[in-house]
C-alpha cells in the first residue's frame, strides 16, 4: 500500500444541485474539466459536498460517475462518516467501492465520545474497511477534538488509518503529531488559509475548498510550499488569502457555492437546512472574486 497516497492537493468538491433538489451532473462535468489532472485527488461527499443530505443510492451513482469521468487520472476519495459507528460500517459494506482510493471519515460528532471512544470508533471502521482511511479532525463542527495522543494512537496502532486531515488552527497540536508520527503516516491541512504554514512545518498537503474555484493557483501554492520555494508560494497564498477569509465568514459550502455560481460553473442551489447566502454577501463575494482574479493575473498571467 502506498502510504503517502494522499499527499499534495485534494479538493473537497461541492455537490451541485438543480432547482428541484436533484444532483446536477452537468455542473459536475464543468467542474471536472477545471480540476482533473490539476489536483492529486478529489474528495466526494465531504463536508463541502453536503454529505449529511446525500442518500446512499446517490453516493453509489456518483462514485460510478466519477470513476468514468476521471478515468484513472485523478484519485477519488469518498466521505463515509458519522456518529453511529455501526451505520458507518454498514454504509462501507453496502457501497461498491471499486475504483475508489480511500475513505475520509469524520470524527464522531454530537455524542461527545471520550478519546478512547474516538479511538474505538476508528478501530471498528478500519477493521471493516477494504480501503485506507483518512481520519478527519474538525472540532469546529464536531465539538470534539481528536487530541494529539489519540491521533498518534490511530497512526501507530491502526494499519488501515493512514492519514489525518487536521482542520484546527492549533499549530502546537499539529507539531506534536508531526514530531511523533510514524514516517508512513500522512498529515493533511483541512483549512485553506493554514495550508502554507502547516506544510512549512511538515504536513504533507491539504484538502482544499477554494481549489473548487481556483484549482491551478492553489495547486501551485501547494506544490511550491512542498518544494520549499516559499517566496513563490507566498505570492499565491497572499493573492488568495482575502477570498479565503471571506469564504470563512460566509460559511462552508455556502460561500464556495456562491463563488462557483459567480464564475459560471454551477447554480447556487442547496438542500435544507442549508440556504444560499444573502444578496448583500453575494455582492461582497462578486467583488472579492474580481479582486482575486486581478491579483492572481499579476503574478501569473497563464492562470486565466
* 47: pLDDT strictly greater than 70: yes
pLDDT for 3 equals 45
b/e 164-182 (16+ beta carbons within 10 angstroms → b): bbbbbeeeebbebbbeebe
Q: What is the CATH T-level fold of the domain 8-226, as seen in this structure? A: TIM Barrel (3.20.20)
pTM of the model: 0.96
Helices (H), the chain: 25-35, 56-70, 85-94, 115-128, 139-142, 148-157, 171-180, 195-200, 215-226, 230-250, 254-262, 279-299
Query: Per-residue confidence at 303, pLDDT binned at 50, 70, 90?
Result: confident
pLDDT for 2 equals 39
Cell triple for 200: 512549512
207, 46 Cβ separation under 8 angstroms: yes
* pLDDT tens track for 148-187: 999 999 999 999 999 999 999 999 999 999 999 999 999 9
Mean pLDDT of the chain: 96
Three-state SS at 107: coil
* pLDDT tens track for 83-93: 999 999 999 99
Residue labelled with grid coordinates 516559499: 230
Torsion-angle region of residue 202: left (phi > 0), alpha (psi -120 to 50) or beta?
left
193, 241 Cβ separation under 8 angstroms: yes
Cell triple for 253: 459550502
* pLDDT tens track for 260-302: 999 999 999 999 999 999 999 999 999 999 999 999 999 998 8
Distance CA 41, CA 130 (A): 19
Going by the DSSP 8-state scheme, the letter that residue 50 receives in this structure is T
Higher pLDDT, 179 or 5: 179
DSSP-assigned beta bridge partners for residue 133:
103, 161
pLDDT for 73 equals 85
Query: In the chain, what percentage of residues exceed pLDDT 90?
Result: 96
* 135: pLDDT strictly greater than 60: yes
* 114: pLDDT strictly greater than 60: yes
Point out the residues that are catalytic: 136, 165
Q: What is the mean pLDDT of residues 200-205?
A: 98
Amino acid at each position: 500500500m502506498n502510504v503517502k497516497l494522499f499527499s499534495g492537493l485534494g479538493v473537497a468538491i461541492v455537490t451541485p444541485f438543480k432547482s428541484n433538489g436533484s444532483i446536477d451532473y452537468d455542473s459536475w462535468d464543468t467542474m471536472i474539466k477545471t480540476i482533473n489532472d490539476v489536483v492529486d485527488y478529489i474528495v466526494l461527499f465531504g463536508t463541502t459536498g453536503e454529505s449529511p443530505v446525500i442518500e446512499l443510492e446517490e453516493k453509489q451513482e456518483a462514485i460510478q460517475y466519477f470513476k468514468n469521468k476521471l478515468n484513472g487520472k485523478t484519485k477519488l476519495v469518498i466521505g463515509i462518516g458519522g456518529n453511529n459507528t455501526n451505520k458507518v460500517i454498514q454504509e462501507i459494506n453496502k457501497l461498491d467501492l471499486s475504483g475508489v482510493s480511500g475513505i475520509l471519515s469524520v470524527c464522531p460528532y454530537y455524542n461527545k465520545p471520550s478519546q478512547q471512544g474516538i479511538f474505538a470508533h476508528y478501530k471498528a471502521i478500519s477493521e471493516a474497511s477494504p480501503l485506507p482511511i483518512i481520519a478527519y479532525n474538525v472540532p469546529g463542527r464536531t465539538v470534539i477534538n481528536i487530541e494529539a495522543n489519540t491521533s498518534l494512537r490511530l497512526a501507530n496502532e491502526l494499519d488501515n488509518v493512514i492519514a489525518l486531515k487536521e482542520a484546527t488552527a492549533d499549530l502546537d497540536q499539529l507539531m506534536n503529531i508531526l514530531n511523533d508520527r510514524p514516517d508512513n503516516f500522512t498529515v493533511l491541512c483541512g483549512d485553506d488559509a493554514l495550508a502554507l504554514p502547516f506544510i512549512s512545518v511538515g504536513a504533507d498537503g491539504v484538502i482544499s475548498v477554494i481549489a473548487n474555484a481556483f484549482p491551478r493557483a492553489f495547486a501551485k501554492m501547494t506544490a511550491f510550499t512542498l518544494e520549499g520555494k516559499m517566496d513563490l508560494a507566498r505570492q499565491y497564498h497572499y493573492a488568495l488569502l482575502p477570498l479565503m477569509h471571506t469564504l470563512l465568514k460566509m460559511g462552508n459550502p455556502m460561500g464556495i457555492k456562491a463563488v462557483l455560481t459567480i464564475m459560471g460553473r454551477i447554480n447556487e442551489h442547496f438542500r435544507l437546512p442549508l440556504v444560499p447566502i444573502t444578496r448583500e454577501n453575494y455582492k461582497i463575494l462578486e467583488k472579492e472574486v474580481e479582486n482575486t482574479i486581478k491579483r492572481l493575473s499579476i503574478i501569473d498571467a497563464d492562470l486565466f
